[in-house]
Amino acid sequence: MVQKEMLRSSGNRLSIGEYLIERLKDYGIRHVFGIPGDYVLDFYDMLYKSRIKVVGTAKEDGAGFAADAYARINGIGACCVTYCVGGLNLVNSIAGAYAEKAPVVVISGSPALHKRVNDPMLHHKVRSFSTQKEIFDQITAASVVLDDEQIAFQKIDDALAVCWKSKRPVYIELPSDMVSVKPQYPYINKSTEEKSNGLALKEALKDAVSMLNMAKKPAILADVELHRYELGNELIKLMDKTGIPVAVTILGKSVISEMRSGYIGVYEGGMGRPEVQKYIESSDCLLMLGTFLTDVNLGFSFKLDRSHTIEATSEKIQIRYHNYQDILFPDFVKGLVKSKIKKRNAKLPDMPAKKKLSTKTSNVPINAGRFFLRLNDLLEDNMVVICDIGLSLFGAIDLIMHKNTEFIAPAYYTSMGYSVPASLGVSLANSELRTVVLVGDGAFQMTGMELTSIARQGLSPVIIVLNNKGYATERYIKEGEYNDIQDWRYDKIPEVIGKGWGCEVRTETEFVKAWSVACSNTESFSIINIHLDPYDNCPALKRLGKKLKTGKRP
C-alpha cells in the first residue's frame, strides 16, 4: 500500500517544500489535516496545488486526532499547522498518537531564519525559537528542522522512515523562508530497508515453536501492533493452521473478525468476562503478539506468568526470560505462520450470545446495557465503531465486530474528545466505511465543534451522544459536583451548523427509529442525543470505578 523506500534524485531541482509533498505522497498520504497560519501559508499553497487534499479543522487538536485515526486506517497520516499557537495545540493529540503507536507526520511552519537575527520577539514565539521543537522532542520518535538546504532532503527521508518503521509520530519544522529553497547539489536517497538477523530469527522461532508444541493449553493474546503492522491476515493464518484460540486486548479489538471460529473475546483482566480471564491466565503457553501491557488495556490486572509467555513486539522478542535481539516483529509473526506448529482442538469458552434481540422494543427509559445490546444487533458490515473513553468505550467492548479494523478507540492514553474528529480521519481514509461514533457528553463538549469540518467535507457519520450530564467514570471513583456539566441540546447542533440531522432519544423504541433515519441519511452527519440517568453504567465501568476508588486490583 505504501512506498516505504524510494531512490529519488533531485536532478529536477525540487524545492524543500515540493520534496516534502512528494515524499508524503510516496507513503500513501492523500489528505493533510490542519489550520493555516502566516508561517506556513506558502507551504499550504504548495499543498493546495498538489494531489494531496488539505482538510481544514476547527482547532488544531482536532487535526491531530483526525490524523491519528486516518493513520490507523491508512497506515500513516499527517497534519500541518503554524508555529506554537498552532503546534502547541497539537501536543495532547500527538502525545496520544505516540502512546498508542499511530504514525502521524507533524508539519509545522516557523519564523523565517533571516528574521531571527539578534533573537527578536516575533509573534507566536514563547521562550526561544527552539521551544516548540524541544516539546515535540518528548512526544515524537524523531524531530527535525529544515534549516539547511543541503541536508533538508535527507532529514525529510530520515524522519519519514522513522515514522513508518516505529509507527509513531515525527515532527518536521519548516521555516517560512525555506519552503521554496532548492538545494545547490543533486540529492540521492540511498536508504536501505532494515532486515532481521537471520540466525537470531531462526533461533527465536525454534524456541517459540518448541514451547508451543509442548504446551497443553496454548493461547494467543493479540494486540495493537498487529493492527499497525497490518498483520491481521497473518494472525488468521496462524489460527487456522494451529487451532490455537485468540483473545484480544481493548486496543487490539477488531484486529480480526470477531465472528471467526477460535476467537474467544476481549481479555481485560478483572474487568472482563471471567471465562476469558480464566482461559488466558491459565494458559501454559501464552503467545503475546504486539502487546501493550498497560493498565487500561489489561483491565488493571496482570496475572500472566512470564515463565509461560512468548512476548513479541516491535521493540523486543522475549521467550520466557530469554531476549532475542535484531528481529523485526513482522518477520517473527510470518515465521511462526510458516513453522511446524501442531494443530489443536481446544475447548473454548462460550462467546456472548449472538442471537438477535426481540424485535419488540420498550417504551421505558433506555439504559446503557440495553442500548449496547440493541446497537450490537443494528451494526452493519460496512460500519466502523469509534469510541471515546468512559462509558462509550467500556460499554462497547462486547460489541461484536464483523470485520477487521472496525473498532477504534484511545484505549491506553484515554484522551477525552478523540472520537468526533477521529471520524473525520476515518471517513477520508476509507470512504467505504460508515463511521458510528459513541461519545459521552463531556467528551463531545471538548471537540464536538469538528462537526463543522465533517459537514464541510460532506461526510455522514452517525454520532451517538451518551448524555448522562457529566463525567460518569469519575462519579464511580469519587462523587462531587465537579463531575457535573451543563446539559446541551446536542440534537439542535445541526441548526447551528446549517447542515445535518438530529433528534432526542429517551426510550429504546425511539432509538431504533432514530437509528433507521440516521442510517438512511447519507448526505450529512446525524446526531442522536440519548438521555441516560447520570448514574446508569455498564458492568465493566462499574468494576473499573470501584477498583480505582479502592486502589486494589479486581
Alpha carbon separation from 388 to 293, 295, 371, 442 (Å, rounded): 20, 17, 16, 10
Answer whether 324's CB lies under 8 Å from 203's CB: yes
Residue 42 burial (C-beta neighbours within 10 Å; 0-12, 13-18, 19+): middle
How many whole angstroms separate alpha carbon 191 and alpha carbon 5? Answer: 7
Rounded to the nearest angstrom, the gap between the alpha carbon of residue 360 and the centroid of all alpha carbons in its chain is 36
Spatial CB neighbours of 369, under 8 Å, sequence gap ≥ 6: 395, 538, 539
What's the pLDDT score for residue 357?
Answer: 58
Cell of 445: 463538549
Domain map of the chain by residue range? Answer: 10-175, 198-338, 368-550
Q: pLDDT (tens digit, 9 = 90+) per residue, 83-106? A: 999 999 999 999 999 999 999 999
Cell of 268: 481485560
The CATH class of 198-338 is alpha beta
The interaxial angle of helices 16-26 and 152-166, nearest 10 deg, is 20
Cell of 231: 498483520
Answer whether 519's CB lies under 8 Å from 462's CB: yes
Residue 321 burial (C-beta neighbours within 10 Å; 0-12, 13-18, 19+): exposed
pLDDT-flagged residues of the chain (< 50): 1-11, 355, 552-554
The interaxial angle of helices 91-99 and 60-74, nearest 10 deg, is 20
How many whole angstroms separate alpha carbon 157 and alpha carbon 526? Answer: 41
**Coil, strand, or helix at residue 447?**
helix
Tell me whether domains 10-175 and 368-550 share a fold: yes
Q: What is the dihedral of CA 375, 381, 387, 390, to 10 degrees?
A: 40
Q: CATH number of 368-550: 3.40.190.10, 3.40.50.970, 3.20.20.370, 3.90.700.10? A: 3.40.50.970
Q: CATH number of 10-175: 3.40.50.970, 1.10.10.60, 3.30.360.10, 2.60.40.1220? A: 3.40.50.970
How many whole angstroms separate alpha carbon 244 and alpha carbon 237? Answer: 11
Spatial CB neighbours of 492, under 8 Å, sequence gap ≥ 6: 502
Buried (b) or exposed (e) across 269-287, using 16+ Cβ within 10 A?
bbbbbeebbebbbebebbb
The interaxial angle of helices 419-429 and 60-74, nearest 10 deg, is 40
pTM, whole model, 2 decimals?
A: 0.93
How many whole angstroms separate alpha carbon 430 and alpha carbon 116? Answer: 42
What single DSSP character describes residue 352? P
What's the pLDDT score for residue 361?
Answer: 72
Answer whether 309's CB lies under 8 Å from 327's CB: no
